[in-house]
Chain A
Amino acid sequence: MAERGGRPVAFRGGGFSPRPLGIVGPLVFIAVIALWEAGCRTGLIPPLVLPAPSEALAALAHLVETGLLWKHLGASLQRLLVGWTLGTLLGIAVGFSIGLFSLARAGLAPVVAAIFPIPKIALLPLFVVWFGIGEGSKVATILFGTFFPTVVATYGGVDNVDRNLIRMGQSFGLSWLSIVRKIILPGALPAILPGFRISAAIAIVLLVAAEMIGAEFGVGAYILLAGSLMALDELLAGVAILSVMGLTVNWLIARLERFLLRWRT
């Protein structure tokens, strides 16, 4: 054992920690589109099955030229904004009541648990009867769909606020309102904000579904019309718009999170 030399100890601590590889994502994206375009050009993919990306782009360009893009997008964004904002505000208010008041918890938490898992699309016909075929039923569907996940995220967040911090607030004689505003609200925010991502995704799904009934304008209406005419290039253009919409919303929420939770890292 005393002799010199020997082998270095083998390294075995690698892996299990994803590194950011910034360019890989866009590269995969470009590669898939290029392959798809090539497949269509060579006839490997028949145009009736899947139009080429360039055709979808042409349909998009046509939308921009005719000015219809803004009409569709404007109608959709307005529904999304009104429905999501109202649903989120109501959801946070109810989530806080459940988190703070025993009576609200006992009374509302079971109701929320019962309605949360229902796909809200199933209720769309009901909303049409209640709120009319126009904007009312569409906004109501989105509102309803975003309300429940927000409630659940909010009261989960309130429940998880460090009890020691609340006790500290009480020990310094802070008022009830101060404790809620300065300790519980910021403490629940790290749970509420990720809930925004989920509710925004749900809102986009419900938007498209709601626009498939009795809407003249809207991205969903555009897609539905394209589908019934078998205009697959337009359909793909519509889907691309939705994807960009989703990415934009996600990016906005990420900015908001970085701003509001800048105390974290």
Chain B
Amino acid sequence: MELRLAGLHHGYGDIEVLRGIDLEIPAGRIVCIVGPSGCGKSTLLRLIGGLERPERGEVVQTGEPPPGCLNPLTYIFQDFALLPWRTVEGNVRLVLEDHGFGRAETAGIVDGVLARTRLSEFRAAFPRQLSGGMKQRVAIARALAVSPAFLLMDEPLSALDAQTRELLLDDLVDLWARERFSGVYVTHNLREAVRLGHRVVLLSRRPGTVREILEIDLPLDARAGHAPELEAHRSRLWQLLRDEAHAADVELVDG
């Protein structure tokens, strides 16, 4: 299954947020979307997953989701969005409960994803007992439980401290190497983008348009050894982004 964005336009009231976005999102790879803050990255992701209706244009799904997929477009949120009144296990179970599985089948899926995210020991913990990084791993486990065709991630590491971010970034690379999931990864952090993205899409400041598309051909699990090449990509993206970010920064918020 693949996604195609065709002529997406969106705005809130008088504010035009996205203008004419055309984009192909292939399967089995990670597309990173970067851009200055306020340029409409989160809005774009909400449009892609059907949480919001575009004013013009459309998001088209081509092909069928893989068999066994319960929720083709699955989000991982910046603020984790875990239910504080449910345990780790309960939070994962939440997204399976409407699918009419038997008790044993549900337990099997839950055990599986908790093991894959190395959370099995913490299954009975409540979110308040977990660090930010652990909470995000629970959210990743929850997303994996529905076998998504696409993972839609909105700055999943931005609420975490720098060290945790680094650890979780490695986790995501490992996860991709094992599962080859398709993903759209929104971030304002260029280092994350060049570490995780097979393709990096740079948006201009608001109204967001596609400014540049960069293909990075290095396999994800081999990137640790290619620091200079990644750094070159990063600094080129930064050149482009800096002017946009500066211009966006000095704009009046309601201007």
Contact = CB atoms under 8 A, between A and B. Distances in A.
Interface of A: 164-165, 167-168, 170-175, 178, 182-183, 186, 263-265
15 contacts: A164-B81, A165-B83, A167-B81, A171-B73, A171-B74, A171-B75, A172-B74, A173-B70, A173-B71, A173-B98, A174-B94, A182-B97, A183-B83, A186-B83, A263-B85
Contacts of A265: 128
B49 interface: yes
Residue among A164, A263, A264 with max Cβ neighbours from chain B (10 Å): A263
A263 B128 contact: yes
Contacts of B71: 171-173
B77 interface: yes
Nearest to B97: A178
Given A171-B49, A265-B128, 10 more contacts: A165-B81, A168-B75, A171-B74, A171-B75, A172-B146, A173-B70, A174-B94, A178-B97, A178-B98, A182-B83
Contacts of A172: 71, 74, 94-95, 142, 146
* Secondary structure type dominating chain A contacts: helix
A178 B73 CA distance: 19
A38 to B, nearest CB: 51
B77 A174 contact: no
A173 B143 CA distance: 12
B84 interface: yes
A132 to B, nearest CB: 44
B83 A171 contact: no
Top-6 shortest CB links A-B: A168-B81, A263-B85, A172-B95, A171-B75, A186-B85, A164-B81
Nearest to A189: B85
Given A164-B77, A178-B97, A263-B128, A170 B51 contact: yes
B248 to A, nearest CB: 25
Contacts of B79: 164
B50 to A, nearest CB: 8
B146 to A, nearest CB: 7
A164 B51 CA distance: 11
A94 B121 CA distance: 42
A264 B84 CA distance: 8
A173 B71 CA distance: 7
Contacts of A182: 83, 94, 97
B126 interface: yes
Nearest to B152: A171
B128 A175 contact: no
Contacts of A264: 84, 128
A204 B5 CA distance: 62
B60 to A, nearest CB: 19
B72 to A, nearest CB: 9
Contacts of B142: 172
Contacts of A167: 51, 81
Nearest to A173: B71
Interface in B68-118: 70-71, 73-75, 77, 79, 81, 83-86, 94-95, 97-98
B122 to A, nearest CB: 15
A182 B83 CA distance: 9
A263 B85 CA distance: 5
A186 B82 CA distance: 13
Contacts of A183: 83
A171 B51 CA distance: 7
A40 to B, nearest CB: 53
A164 B75 CA distance: 12
Given A263-B126, A264-B84, A168 B77 contact: yes
A260 B95 CA distance: 22
Contacts of B97: 178, 182
Contacts of B94: 172, 174, 182
A168 B94 CA distance: 11
A164 B74 CA distance: 14
Contacts of A164: 77, 79, 81
Nearest to A167: B51
Interface string B137-154: 000001000100000000
